[in-house]
Amino acid sequence: MDLCSSFDKLAKLKDPEIRAKNLRALHFGLRGIAWSLLRPPMPDPVFIVGCSRAGTSVTYETVRLSSRLLSFGYELPTFWNGLWGPHHNGWHSEGAEAHHADPRHRNAAFRFFYERLGPGWVLDKTCINVLRIPYLHRLFPKAFFIYIHRDGRDNVNSLMEGWKQTPRFALRQFLGPLPERVRIDGGRFDDWSFFLPPDWRRFNDAPLERVCAHQWVSANRAALDAEKLVPGDRWIRIRYEDFFVDPVSVFRGVFERLGLPFEDVVRRRCEALLEHQTSLVSGPPRLEKWKVQNPQAVERVLDVLAPTLRELGYAF
């Protein structure tokens, strides 16, 4: 039996994917040792935050073109939740407050970044982080936050379209099974998608549009409250709708605030921004999709969206 097991292990070592995975793990391990010994200086990160489907991806894909930033090319919910998340807070949400910040979390983050990206200035876009800005600000007091918001009517519509692609954005793949029964939209959905907001249990039997409206309000309320905590020179606020007016000016302003050169590759990307199909859910960028895709459902939650829409400056 032991001999068979040994042969199985030898066979696995010949598998190219397993060998590549082992080599990556070895590489990360060696980088981790170097981090522990040398502690090379790394600047506090740049975080792109906003509600899922608010334009965070197009913002991230544009800003990460800077030759002076490092990025993963994907989100890190498992990593951030591993430091503090639902498994630590009694399944309250995927949020985190300032008092949850631990200096060991800062060290773990820099080690994680260094192992995988090397030394440098890291750009991160993980949508759950809109619920944990006070926590991140406490860990990284010199971090920049790029907050993007979108008209709640279009944002809720886009969230709904994403939910309909379940299990693509379902949380079970990141968090495991939720501790409560979920029967959203009459049982159509048995899991949450995108992120787990505060008070999620109250919506486990709600219509889909109510769930998505709660997600949008929760995300933007969290950002607006956090805006009061973060110094103004570290907080960059942009509107998704301005991409349709003058994307070059929008991103030139972002790069100036970050102290980064507005390189040609970035300018060219901005000039053709609306030609890129960056949406993971419902095709190329377009305004007022909600009037075509889910008009009645969105109209049913206008009372929920209205106060935050007004605070964000949307005509209503």
Query: Between the CA of residue 6 and those of 2, 13, 110, 172, what are the distances in Å?
Result: 6, 11, 37, 34
- The reply to whether 7 falls in a domain is no
On whether residue 29 sits in a domain, the answer given is no
Q: Nearest 5°: phi and psi at 87?
A: -75, -10
At 87-114, the pLDDT tens digits run 999 999 999 999 999 999 999 999 999 9
The reported pLDDT for the residue numbered 7 is 47
34 part of a folded domain: no
DSSP result, 209-226: HHHHHHHHHHHHHHHHHH
Tell me what pLDDT residue 36 has.
73
Domain assignment of residue 68, given as a range: 39-311
**How high is the pLDDT of residue 25?**
52
Asked whether residue 33 is assigned to any structural domain, the reply reads: no
Describe the strand order of the beta sheet including 235-239 as a list of residue ranges: 70-71, 122-125, 46-49, 144-149, 235-239
Kindly report whether the global pTM for this prediction surpasses the value 0.95: no
Residue 28 lies in a domain: no
By percentage, how much of the chain surpasses pLDDT 90?
A: 81
Which CATH number fits the domain that encloses residue 293? 3.40.50.300
The pLDDT tens digits for 251-290 are 999 999 999 999 999 999 999 887 765 545 455 677 889 9
| Closest CA relative to residue 154, chosen from 316, 270, 277 | 316
How far does CA 118 lie from the centroid of its chain? 22
Q: Is residue 8 part of a domain?
A: no
Indicate whether 135 belongs to any domain: yes
Distance CA 177, CA 182 (A): 10
pLDDT value of position 83 = 98
pLDDT along the chain (316 residues), means of 10: 54 59 59 72 96 95 97 96 97 98 96 94 97 98 98 97 94 96 97 98 98 98 97 97 94 98 96 70 73 96 98 91
In the 3-class helix/strand/coil scheme, how is 103-152 assigned residue by residue? HHHHHHHHHHHHHHHCCCCEEEECHHHHHCHHHHHHHCCCCEEEEEECCH
Report yes or no on 104 lying in a domain: yes
Domain count for the chain: 1
